[in-house]
Structure 1
Amino acid sequence: MAKEELPSDLNLNLIEMVQSARMRHDAEARPSDLAAVYWIEAKRKDGDFAAPTANAGEWRVPLMAETADAAWERVKAMTVEGKLGYKSKISTRPAAGQAEPDQRLLCVRTYDADDREDVERVKKALLAIGMAGLQYVADE
């Protein structure tokens, strides 16, 4: 089949397949077990939630490597249940040039930085499970 004759949704199907495989992988992954990928992600299950806007943002939580697995399990479960933002992710290794080699970054995405009520709801939920040092960053 010539390139011009390929179905127009072929690339979208391939992207969806890759994303689905990644989410299945990440569902069981622990930050301490991986170094080949930089982020592990969790997404909330489908439901009646607001869709992310162009003005989304995220809570950033610095963690030490020895606490990352336990923190991730709590945040991942709450994300999947729809109790936090629409997506969460955690780094599996420090960023290049990071001053503290044992530091990891946990991010919880909110659908709209202008929805202060939702942003505060997510913050309260994170504080309730022991997260500290939270910083909110809106997308630009």
Structure 2
Amino acid sequence: MLQRRDRIKKKIKRHKSIKAKQRGISLPYSDPKPSEVIDDYWIYAIRKKGKYPKSTQRSGKWLIFVDPKNLDEVWAKIKEATEEGKLGDCAKVATAKPNPLSGKSKANVICVYTYNWADEKDVRRVREELRNLGIKNKIPYKADEDTFNGKYGITGYTRISKYYE
């Protein structure tokens, strides 16, 4: 059990490092529309107002799958809400650069992060804010640990979500 926990800690540390690099790379693209970016997979939005707990080993994200024709509009709302401190610590959006992990889906994904999937109150608060932004359809919430372990629908995994509402 201890070895598994150590492996997970290393993966989380590596993931945080990768996330930090991606944020740095995406900074020049902080304002362009995701539909126009073709040389990076992600654009990030970072909380600018208010405090939010640091990510834990139980961090995760709401996954919002968006039709490409609506992507720029939906992302603008989520980016603003993230920066204003209404959501979690950060969010990211898939750009127009083809990603092998997206499979055959034509939808782009927007990830809205929370610090701890076990903090049900915070996870549901963020979900309610997403509803206020117009995200009314049911969406999944996935733990980052499952992402670190390569659990994606495209790789054959099902029922990965911690929440679905």
TM-score, with length taken from structure 2: 0.67
What is the CA–CA distance in structure 1 between the aligned matches of 2:29 and 2:91, rounded to whole Å?
A: 11
Q: Which residue number in structure 1 is paired with residue 57 of structure 2?
A: 54
Q: 2:104 aligns with which of 99, 102, 107?
A: 99
What is the CA–CA distance in structure 2 between the aligned matches of 1:98 and 1:126, rounded to whole Å?
A: 25
The change in CA–CA distance for 1:37 and 1:20 in structure 2 (over 3 A counts) is closer
Higher helix share: 2
Residues 69-124 of structure 1, C-alpha deviations (whole Å, 9 max, x = no match): 00000000000011001110010135326223x31001000011111000000001
What is the CA–CA distance in structure 2 between the aligned matches of 1:130 and 1:137, rounded to whole Å?
A: 20
Query: Which blocks of at least 5 consecutive residues in structure 2 are unaligned?
Result: 1-17, 146-165
What is the CA–CA distance in structure 2 between the aligned matches of 1:113 and 1:55, rounded to whole Å?
A: 6
Query: Which blocks of at least 5 consecutive residues in structure 1 are unaligned?
Result: 1-14
What letter is aligned with 1:61? Answer: I
Q: Which residue number in structure 2 is paired with residue 74 of structure 1?
A: 77
TM-score, with length taken from structure 1: 0.79
Q: 2:118 aligns with which of 114, 119, 122?
A: 114
What letter is aligned with 2:60? Answer: G
Deviation of the 1:20 alpha carbon: 7.0
What letter is aligned with 1:78? Answer: A
Residues 7-66 of structure 1, C-alpha deviations (whole Å, 9 max, x = no match): xxxxxxxx9x96775353232121111111000101101542211112101000101110
The change in CA–CA distance for 1:46 and 1:128 in structure 2 (over 3 A counts) is closer
Q: 2:139 aligns with which of 116, 125, 134?
A: 134
Which structure's relative contact order is higher, taking Cα pairs within 8 Å and 6+ residues apart? 1
RMSD, aligned α-carbons? 2.3
Percent identical residues? 33
**Most deviating of 47-56 and 81-90:** 47-56
